[in-house]
Amino acid sequence: MSAPDQAPAGLSLRPMEVADLPRVARMEAELFGAEAWSRQTLSAELHAAARGDRRYIVVEPGEDGQEDGQQDGRGSRDGRDGFPLLGYAGLYHGDGLGDADLLTLATAPAARRQGLGRLMLAELVESARRAGCRAVLLEVRHSNTAARSLYLSQGFEPIGLRRRYYRAPVEDAVVMRLGLRASTGPVGAEAT
């Protein structure tokens, strides 16, 4: 998997902040329905991130982007609530001695197929690599072909199936893994 790109012109990729929570919670509810994390859960995750074992990021239009809420009275940069959120993602890396876990990844429907999912994923994989993790693991709904295609395109491999892992609706999870550490064996081989 390649190193993360710089955010393309007109986009800002930055750490998630408390001021982002209303927008993230709204998008979470729209995209994940009954399985959405509540604002309280998101807030607890953000506080956990402050301890340094996980990282949450958001992507939004840059300061010079076209979607400036102050132009049509939707809000202010300080409140952020009226500004569009294009995507968010989170990853747990712990102390770096184990595997990282992709916790969430979402792109707003109107911003899809423009590379934002790939951008956020690359950024978080790089965090896991910097932390020293051996691999990044994730679970994804079997029917989620968009996400599975994204992960496959970035080098993740399916390594298992968790039967009836999801509840609403009930569905199996595909477990995927991306190895991060170069092996001491043949050049280019990954540790298993």
Ligand X SMILES: CC(C)(COP(=O)(O)OP(=O)(O)OC[C@H]1O[C@@H](n2cnc3c(N)ncnc32)[C@H](O)[C@@H]1OP(=O)(O)O)[C@@H](O)C(=O)NCCC(=O)NCCS
Q: Which residues bind ligand X (CB under 6 A)?
A: 31, 105-107, 112-118, 140, 144-147, 149-150, 153
The 3-state DSSP class for residue 141 equals strand
Q: Which of 56, 88, 92, 151 is catalytic?
A: 151
The 3-state DSSP class for residue 40 equals helix
E strand map for 49-191: 54-61, 87-92, 100-107, 135-141, 157-167, 170-179
Tokens linked to 64: 């010079």
Nearer to ligand X, 51 or 113 (CB): 113
Angle at 34 between CA 30 and CA 39, to 5 degrees: 65
Nearer to ligand X, 90 or 117 (CB): 117
| Min dist. Cβ of residue 154 to ligand X (A) | 8
Residue 151 a catalytic site member = yes
Q: Which of 67, 126, 139, 171 is catalytic?
A: 139
Contact (Cβ atoms closer than 8 angstroms) between residue 54 and residue 83: no
Peptide bond into 169 cis (omega under 30): yes
Residue 62: enclosing H or E segment and its boundaries?
Answer: none
Q: Which residue shows structure tokens 């932390």?
A: 131
Using CB atoms, what's the residue nearest to ligand X? 117
| CA nearest to 102, candidates 51, 155, 66 | 155
Nearer to ligand X, 28 or 127 (CB): 28
Nearer to ligand X, 95 or 157 (CB): 157
In whole angstroms, give the CA distance from residue 33 to residue 37. Answer: 9
Nearer to ligand X, 132 or 172 (CB): 172
| Min dist. Cβ of residue 47 to ligand X (A) | 23
Residue 139 a catalytic site member = yes
Q: Which residues are catalytic?
A: 139, 151
